[in-house]
Chain A
Amino acid sequence: MKKALSFFLIVCLAITMCMSSYADTFNWAPAPQAEEAAAEPEAVAEAAPEAEAEAEPEAEAPAATAEVIDFEDGNFAFLGVSTLKGNADPAAVLSVVDFNGSKALKVEAPAKFPYVALNVEGLLGDRLADVAAISASFGADSASDGNFYAVSGKIYTYTGEANDETVAGWSVYMAKKNPRTIVTQLPAFVAGAGNALVICKDDQAGGDPEAIYLDDIKFLDAEGNALPLDLSAEYVSADSGKDLSNLVALVNPVEFAGFTGIAGSGWGQNGLEMPEDFLNALVPGSVVEIEYESADGTIWAVMPWATAGWSRIAQGQAAINNSKNIAQIPYEKFVEVCGEDKSTWGAMFQCEAQTDWTVYAVRVGQRANQIVLKNAVEFPGFQKSAGAWAQDGLEMPQEIVDALVPGSVVEFTFESEDGNLWLVMPWATAGWSRVAQGSATIIGDKCYVTYEQIAEVCGEDKSTWGAMMQAEGSSAWSVYGVRVGQKAEFYGLTNLVEFPGFQKSAGAWAQDGLEMPQEIVDALVPGSVVTFTYESEDGNLWLVMPWATAGWSRVGNDGKDVADGHTAQVTYEQIAEVCGEDKTTWGAMMQAEGSSAWTVYSVAVGQAIK
Chain B
Amino acid sequence: MKRIVALILTLAMVLSLPVFASAERHLTYGIWWDVYYNSGDADLSANPAVDPEDPTDQDVAMFENVKLIEDEYDVTFEWANLTYQGVQDSINSSILAGDPDCDVYTVELGWGVPAAMNGLATDLRDVLPADDPLFKGEDTVFNIVSLPDGSAKILAVKSGQAQAEATYPLAFNLQMIQEANLEDPRDLVERGEWTWDKFREYCEVLTKDTDGDGVTDVYGYGAWANDALMYWIMSNGTYIAATEKENLSSPEVGETLKFLQDLYLDGLAYPIPAENGWDVCRWLYRDKKVAFTTTATWILSNYDDYNYDGKAETTLDFDMIFVDYPIGPSGNAETNATKIAYSNYYMIPAGVKDPKLVYDAFRAYWNWYHDDTELRDELTDWWYTAVSDKLEIQDWNVSVEMKMGERETVDFYKLVENDVPILQFLNGEYTPAQLQESYKQVVQDALDNLYK
Contacts and interface: CB of A to CB of B under 8 A. Distances in A.
B189 to A, nearest CB: 33
A174 B90 contact: yes
A151 B30 CA distance: 14
Contact of B26 (A17, A26, A172): A26
B399 interface: no
B93 A42 contact: yes
Given A24-B25, A149-B81, A174-B82, A8 B8 contact: yes
B431 interface: no
A171 B24 contact: no
Nearest to A149: B81
A152 B86 contact: yes
A203 B87 CA distance: 13
B26 A24 contact: yes
A21 B93 CA distance: 26
Contacts, number: 115
Contact of A41 (B34, B76, B96, B279): B96
Contacts of A41: 93, 96-97
B83 A150 contact: yes
Contacts of B313: 549
Contact of A171 (B8, B25, B82): B82
Contacts of B8: 5, 8-9, 12
Contacts of A170: 85, 89
B278 interface: yes
B16 interface: yes
A12 B276 CA distance: 72
Contact of B85 (A27, A203, A206, A552): A203
Interface string B8-40: 110011011101110011101010101000010
Given A173-B90, A509-B279, A20 B16 contact: yes
Nearest to A41: B97
A177 interface: yes
Given A8-B9, A9-B8, A20-B20, A40 B82 contact: no
Contacts of A25: 24, 26, 39, 76
Contacts of B76: 25
Interface string B72-84: 0000100011111
A600 to B, nearest CB: 18
Interface in A166-199: 169-174, 177, 182
A580 to B, nearest CB: 13
A39 interface: yes
B89 A13 contact: no
Given A25-B26, A25-B76, A206 B81 contact: yes
B14 to A, nearest CB: 9
Contacts of A21: 20, 24
A173 B102 CA distance: 11
A21 to B, nearest CB: 6
B89 A169 contact: yes
Interface in B75-123: 76, 80-90, 93-94, 96-97, 99, 101
Q: Chain A interface: which size bin?
A: 35 or more
A31 to B, nearest CB: 11
Given A8-B8, A150-B81, A152-B83, A169 B16 contact: no
A201 to B, nearest CB: 10
A153 B84 CA distance: 10
Interface in B289-313: 302-303, 313
Contacts of A149: 81
B82 A205 contact: yes
A204 interface: yes
Main secondary structure of the interface of B (DSSP, over half): helix
Given A173-B89, A205-B81, A27 B12 contact: no
A40 B93 contact: yes
B42 interface: no
A546 interface: yes
Interface string A277-316: 0000000000000000000000000000000000000000
B5 interface: yes
Contacts of B17: 16, 20
A153 B303 CA distance: 38
Given A25-B26, A40-B94, A171 B86 contact: yes
A526 interface: no
Nearest to B93: A40
A173 B93 CA distance: 12
B352 to A, nearest CB: 14
A204 B82 CA distance: 9
Contact of A16 (B12, B30, B101, B302): B12
Given A40-B93, A151-B83, A204-B83, A13 B24 contact: no
Contacts of A20: 16-17, 20-21
B97 A169 contact: no
Given A9-B8, A16-B12, A24-B21, A169 B85 contact: yes
A42 B80 CA distance: 23
Which of A9, A26, A174, A552 has the largest number of chain B CB atoms within 10 A? A174
Nearest to B26: A25
A151 to B, nearest CB: 7
Contacts of A26: 26
Given A174-B80, A552-B302, A509 B276 contact: yes
A385 to B, nearest CB: 45
Given A8-B5, A39-B94, A171 B16 contact: no
Contacts of A153: 85
B97 A40 contact: yes
Most B C-beta atoms less than 10 A away, residue of A12, A206, A549 = A12
A570 B81 CA distance: 37
A9 B303 contact: no
Contacts of A27: 26, 28
15 contacts: A8-B8, A8-B9, A12-B12, A12-B13, A20-B17, A24-B21, A25-B76, A40-B93, A42-B93, A150-B82, A150-B86, A170-B89, A174-B82, A203-B83, A205-B83
Given A39-B97, A171-B82, A174-B86, 9 more contacts: A8-B12, A25-B39, A39-B94, A42-B93, A149-B81, A171-B89, A171-B90, A205-B83, A206-B34
Of all A-B residue pairs in the complex, the 6 with the closest CB atoms, nearest first, are A173-B86, A12-B12, A152-B85, A171-B86, A205-B81, A173-B82
